[in-house]
Structure 1
């Protein structure tokens, strides 16, 4: 079992992927992404009825790490190499994100690529790319408006503001549930149980149909986001901001 990511599957067909990189705070290091994809491969082979994604109590996922950002800045990887978005959207089974902890940048994108999103009132959620000097990626520009609405999405992306779950609840953003943190996991399990009771073949068919718009949005985003990354990561200021942010 990986120290960073693991999975298990209940007898009723509910799969769980647990992101528990306490040291790295579930940031998308190269090793973390590899571990995540290994666990997702194993889950997919088991053909579960539904998947719940879980993070730490304080951090669901923190997005990219410095090494990945500097690889982008130096042109070593591009948006299409960040495959988590595509893999989650293309699963045969529904995905529930149980986001008890904070979800920032690419960490929030995991929620955007899920079918059902449950957030915590106490935690913060944000598309923080611009605070690091570069434009959003991983499909954020097209997927985020579908979750929180276009105007809140614009504010999130332009300012990098981290919204508390209770703020998003007041704005009637499109999360399925925004609950006290200690209720998030139970609600995810309850929704998963309801899905697991349905005809699995029909569930898979419905997932295929409902995910089609997101697949198109992701394709559209990549063309634009790849171009923006090429430009914004080429700015000397971007490299300086990244270095300053990770200097301590």
Structure 2
């Protein structure tokens, strides 16, 4: 799939979705819609077991489209934010894991987009920041909410109030990104992770994501109940039976996704 702003490349059972809105991959509603369409294609194609989201050029996403901001009023700003939020919800709820492969800076809306993914890998040279306050704004696509699921409250507020740009190394130290890799290698690093994901039982991975994401939005008690429901349902799948049989026979499982 090739869109005006997004391309999708198949790498085995992984979809590599690349944002292409030069020069800095600024995020505006049309770009958000293109990402959502790409995610929809991945959702429908059951041969995909994972997705990588990255950017083309020097930035992952350098924030919102400032020129677009000058063309909208309060009502337009609300519509824009809702469209971007809808795209991010698509990534959050996608049946397969989504890795943000940060090839370049992730600022403002770029950080929010990263937070909608399941985890992130960053190249060593990049900067990450919630920079909206430097434009007299706050994040409008979930940043003030999602940041607090990723970081301790004080750290999240410091980044939110200052608009500071932090290094990839610091982002890893505070838990905002999972790992850091040399410049120019992030997609390769992400593919190494998805290769391991793709070897696991696909229904189990999808179930693990659903259960983990449920916990992010519900109480621990509700999360426990949901986990039991999902765990027990997997006992009715062919994949579970294949996994157990393969283990007992000392061979690699051959999962079919059913």
TM-score, normalised to structure 1, is 0.78
Q: Matches of residues 54-133 of structure 1 in structure 2 within 5 Å?
A: 54-66=54-66, 68-70=68-70, 73-78=73-78, 79-82=81-84, 83-133=86-136
What is the rounded CA distance, in whole Å, between the counterparts of 1:179 and 1:196 in structure 2? 21
Residue matched to 2:228: none
> How far does the alpha carbon of each residue in 1:138-167 deviate from its partner, in whole angstroms, 9 at most, with x for none?
111221133343222212110111111123
Structure 1 pair 215–69 and aligned structure 2 pair: CA distance change class (3 A):
farther
Structure 1 pair 166–51 and aligned structure 2 pair: CA distance change class (3 A):
same
Contact residue 29 and residue 67 of structure 1 kept, 8 A:
no
What is the rounded CA distance, in whole Å, between the counterparts of 2:139 and 2:215 in structure 1? 20
SS at match of 1:152: helix
Structure 1 pair 19–188 and aligned structure 2 pair: CA distance change class (3 A):
same
- Higher relative CO (Cα under 8 Å, sequence separation at least 6) belongs to 1
Establish whether residue 196 from structure 1 lines up as the match of residue 195 from structure 2: no
Establish whether residue 49 from structure 1 lines up as the match of residue 49 from structure 2: yes
1:100 to partner: Cα distance: 1.8
Contact residue 147 and residue 175 of structure 1 kept, 8 A:
no
What is the rounded CA distance, in whole Å, between the counterparts of 1:93 and 1:112 in structure 2? 16
Long gaps (5+) in structure 2: 220-258
Establish whether residue 150 from structure 1 lines up as the match of residue 150 from structure 2: no
Structure 1 pair 55–202 and aligned structure 2 pair: CA distance change class (3 A):
same
1:50 to partner: Cα distance: 0.6
Establish whether residue 38 from structure 1 lines up as the match of residue 41 from structure 2: no
Contact residue 54 and residue 101 of structure 2 kept, 8 A:
yes
RMSD: 2.2
Contact residue 148 and residue 175 of structure 1 kept, 8 A:
no
TM-score, normalised to structure 2, is 0.75
SS at match of 1:181: coil
SS at match of 1:182: coil
Residue matched to 1:224: none
SS at match of 2:75: coil
Establish whether residue 206 from structure 1 lines up as the match of residue 208 from structure 2: yes
Contact residue 100 and residue 120 of structure 2 kept, 8 A:
yes
Contact residue 39 and residue 94 of structure 2 kept, 8 A:
no
What is the rounded CA distance, in whole Å, between the counterparts of 1:122 and 1:157 in structure 2? 22
Establish whether residue 4 from structure 1 lines up as the match of residue 5 from structure 2: yes
1:184 to partner: Cα distance: 2.1
Structure 1 pair 214–139 and aligned structure 2 pair: CA distance change class (3 A):
farther
Contact residue 143 and residue 214 of structure 1 kept, 8 A:
no
Residue matched to 1:232: none
Contact residue 51 and residue 99 of structure 2 kept, 8 A:
yes
What is the rounded CA distance, in whole Å, between the counterparts of 1:65 and 1:210 in structure 2? 32
